[in-house]
Amino acid sequence: MITLKGITWDHPRGYAPLSAASPLYEQERDVSVAWQKRSLTAFGDESLQELSRRYDLLIIDHPHVGGAMAAGWLVPLEEVVSPDILHTLALQSAGPSFESYHYGGHQWALPVDAAVQCAAMRPDLLGSRALPRNWEEVFVLGNELKARGQWLGMALCPTDCGCTFLTLTAQLGYPITGAGSRLIDPAVGLEALGMLLKLRDCAHPRSLDWNPVDLFGHMSCKDDVPYTPLAFGYAHYARRGSPGKVLRFGDAPGITGALLGGAGIAVSSAGSHIAEAAAYASWLAGAAVQGSVYLECEGQPGNGAVWENEAANRLAGGFFGDTMRTLRAAQLRPRHAGWPAFQREMGTMLHRCLQGNIPSRQVLDDLEEVFRVSRNATP
């Protein structure tokens, strides 16, 4: 029997559905898949070079596909997956998830997980109050919460403060695409950074240390953060039976331009069983698996047929229906080869600014220089 090796990320959403689905595939196809885990930070930042040498299947983030293409680490899936399957999965994509893995004329991964930066709340703490529709209403709520000894919640660790900066620039009308010679118009960058600093001032003091899992874990078990305007959504915390209080998710303020997250399954070009790995990836991304074992075992499917299914939405505590408008209007991150390294540096610089260690104007000037270098970087 063939055994494939796969690498995913270390959260029940990233690991549990794969672990549950693989025995079913083994019974059906006589192909075993052994999954291992890496941290959430490594999922977003770690190079695929070493992973592609050790694993047949990789769960990846879409900004890495440009580097993978340049270095030849992954198999172009149109070479090993039938056009009919790819066409079906493209039509069934949850928002722009399928498109996010299409780069340079090739399909480098299939979406198995979909997410976008969105809002979340504790219904028992906010009651019937409507979620803020724009950033002005967010800051009004933030000041009200501070006046009663509570906080907005934000995920502002280096990776996530960088992602929030990208959402804010897009919502100001100037999304960062990585296509031009400049990163961002200085006036727009200063405005976005000013909003980020204002969010820091309204947010829980630990927000600078938090990623979305930290934030939602705190919100679900403590009563001092009733609301976050922007963090990558996790249906895990909306499901009944999840630890702590159930969260309710909603559209990001402004809806359009929020940053796309999620994950895709890719096939290593160094694997010994490329055809078998591609067959498994296609099976896992299909609506039948995504809407059954994948969804039932903590998964957050990348297949839009599941997002539009009312029974699936109820199982996920309304998460799919409550965030779908934001997902459909999400923006992709740049995907050129130098972007992942630039993204890491950008997050570090912005985080230093939020800590008060570097002025806003200087951080924007420094980012322009680092971005210029990234345009010509190799993976």
> Whole-angstrom Cα distance, residue 152 to residue 68?
38
Q: pLDDT (tens digit, 9 = 90+) per residue, 270-305?
A: 999 999 999 999 999 999 999 999 999 999 999 999
- Domains with residue ranges and CATH for the chain: 2-115+261-323 (3.40.190.10), 117-259+336-374 (3.40.190.10)
> Whole-angstrom Cα distance, residue 280 to residue 278?
5
> Whole-angstrom Cα distance, residue 288 to residue 231?
29
SS3 349: helix
Which residues, other chains included, contact 291 with Cβ-Cβ below 8 Å and sequence gap of 6+?
A: 301, 303, 305, 306, 309, 312
pLDDT at 44: 61
**Contact, 17 vs 293, CB < 8 A?**
yes
CA torsion 235-27-29-284 (nearest 10°) is 0
Average pLDDT of the segment spanning 112-126: 97
Please measure the distance between the N-terminal and C-terminal CA atoms of the chain and give it in whole angstroms: 35
> Whole-angstrom Cα distance, residue 132 to residue 25?
44
pLDDT at 181: 80
**Contact, 219 vs 204, CB < 8 A?**
no
SS3 228: strand
**Which range scores top for mean pLDDT: 37-46, 124-133, 312-321?**
312-321
Higher-confidence residue of 265 and 373: namely 265
How big is the chain by its Cα radius of gyration, in Å?
20
Q: pLDDT (tens digit, 9 = 90+) per residue, 28-57?
A: 999 999 999 988 777 666 678 889 999 999
Residue 378 has pLDDT above 70, yes or no: yes
- pTM, 2 dp: 0.95
Average pLDDT of the segment spanning 94-98: 98
Average pLDDT of the segment spanning 162-172: 97
Q: What percent of the chain shows pLDDT beyond 90?
A: 89
Residue 247 has pLDDT above 90, yes or no: yes
**Which range scores top for mean pLDDT: 106-110, 129-133, 145-149?**
106-110
Q: pLDDT (tens digit, 9 = 90+) per residue, 178-199?
A: 887 889 999 999 999 999 999 9
Average pLDDT of the segment spanning 11-21: 95
Residue 232 has pLDDT above 70, yes or no: yes
Secondary structure element (H or E) that encloses residue 38, with its range:
strand 31-38
pLDDT at 3: 96
| C-alpha dist (Å) from residue 321 to 94, 248, 249 | 12, 11, 9
Largest CA distance in the chain: 63
Residue 165 has pLDDT above 90, yes or no: yes
**Contact, 273 vs 18, CB < 8 A?**
no
> Whole-angstrom Cα distance, residue 74 to residue 149?
50
**Contact, 25 vs 283, CB < 8 A?**
yes
Average pLDDT of the chain is: 95
